[in-house]
Chains A and B, each alone.
Chain A
Amino acid sequence: DAKTTQPNSMESNEEEPVHLPCNHSTISGTDYIHWYRQLPSQGPEYVIHGLTSNVNNRMASLAIAEDRKSSTLILHRATLRDAAVYYCILSRYTGNQFYFGTGTSLTVIP
C-alpha cells in the first residue's frame, strides 16, 4: 500500500491561507489522493480528492504535483472551525481501501 507522509502538526493564523503538504513518493498511476479531516470523537469528514489534475470545491483546493509524488491541501482562509487532524490518503479505484497515516494536527490561532 502506498504510504503518505505528513507533518505531525501545523499552525495557522485565523483568516490566513493554510497549505498542508503531503508526500506520496510511491504513488502508482491508478491511486487517488484523498483528504479528510477529523475532529475529536467524530468520524472523518470528506474534504476533497483528485487523481491528476488540481481540484477545487467549496471547502478547499487540492494541488497535485506534476509527478504526483506530492500534493498540497489549501484552505483559502482558515477559521477556528478548521482546527482538526487532516489526513492525506491514497487509494486504488478497484479496492478503494483507505490506510490512514498519522495525519497533521492543524491549530488555528485567533
Chain B
Amino acid sequence: GAVVSQHPSRVICKSGTSVKIECRSLDFQATTMFWYRQFPKKSLMLMATSNEGSKATYEQGVEKDKFLINHASLTLSTLTVTSAHPEDSSFYICSARGTSGRDQETQYFGPGTRLLVL
C-alpha cells in the first residue's frame, strides 16, 4: 500500500516550453501532496504544499507563476514548469500524505521526474 507514481520519469524539453509533471496516489486518497526539487548531490527542497480543491501554498523563494500546481482530485496533483529554462533542470519529486491511521502522520514519495531543459 501507499504507492505514489510520477509521470513522466524523465523529460527533455527546449528552453521556453512548458512541462507538466503528474503525481498520483495509486492505492490511497491524498488530501495533501507536496512538491520538492533536488539538485545533484544536494538534499530535497520543499517547493509547495498542495491541498485538494484549494490553492497551493508555496515556500518562500519559489515563484508560483513559474511552478503552477493543481490538485484537482484526491489522487492527482500536477506541477507545470512554465517557460522552462536551463536553470529549471532538476529532479522533481512529489509526495502524498496518507489519510488513515499512522499514514496520516507521514508522507509517501514518488520515484521522481528528471527534467532537462536545453
Name A residues whose Cβ lies closer than 8 Å to a Cβ of B.
32, 34, 36, 41-46, 49, 51, 87, 91, 93, 95-103
Closest chain A residue to B41 by CB distance? A40
Task: Mark out the residues of chain B between 1 and 15 whose CB falls within 8 Å of any chain A CB in the assembled complex.
Answer: 2, 4, 6
Q: Given contact pairs A44-B109, A96-B32, A96-B105, enumerate 8 new A-B contacts (beta carbons under 8 Å).
A: A32-B106, A34-B106, A41-B91, A41-B112, A49-B106, A96-B97, A98-B44, A100-B43
> Total number of A-B contacts with CB less than 8 angstroms?
60
Does B28 lie at the interface of the complex (its beta carbon under 8 Å from any beta carbon of A)? no
Does B46 lie at the interface of the complex (its beta carbon under 8 Å from any beta carbon of A)? yes
Docked-complex contact A41 and B46, CB < 8 angstroms: no
**B97 contacts which chain A residues (CB < 8 A)?**
96
A and B contact pairs by CB, cutoff 8 A, 16 listed: A41-B112, A43-B110, A44-B95, A45-B109, A46-B106, A46-B107, A49-B102, A49-B106, A51-B105, A91-B106, A93-B104, A95-B49, A96-B32, A96-B97, A97-B46, A100-B43
Name B residues whose Cβ lies closer than 8 Å to a Cβ of A.
2, 4, 6, 32, 34, 36, 43-46, 49, 91, 93, 95, 97, 102, 104-112, 114
Set B46, B102, B110: member contacting A98, Cβ < 8 A: B46
User: A41-B91, A103-B43 given as contacts; is B107 within 8 A of A98 (CB)?
Assistant: yes
**B6 contacts which chain A residues (CB < 8 A)?**
43
- Per CB-CB distance, the 4 closest pairs between chain A and chain B, nearest first, are A43-B109, A100-B44, A100-B43, A44-B109
- Secondary structure of the A contact surface, majority rule: loop
**B106 contacts which chain A residues (CB < 8 A)?**
32, 34, 46, 49, 91, 96
- Secondary structure of the B contact surface, majority rule: strand
Closest chain B residue to A55 by CB distance? B102
Closest chain A residue to B111 by CB distance? A43
Docked-complex contact A42 and B44, CB < 8 angstroms: no
Docked-complex contact B45 and A97, CB < 8 angstroms: no
**A45 contacts which chain B residues (CB < 8 A)?**
109
Closest chain B residue to A87 by CB distance? B43
Docked-complex contact A42 and B107, CB < 8 angstroms: no
Docked-complex contact B93 and A43, CB < 8 angstroms: yes
- Measured CB to CB, the closest approach of chain B to A55, in angstroms, equals 10
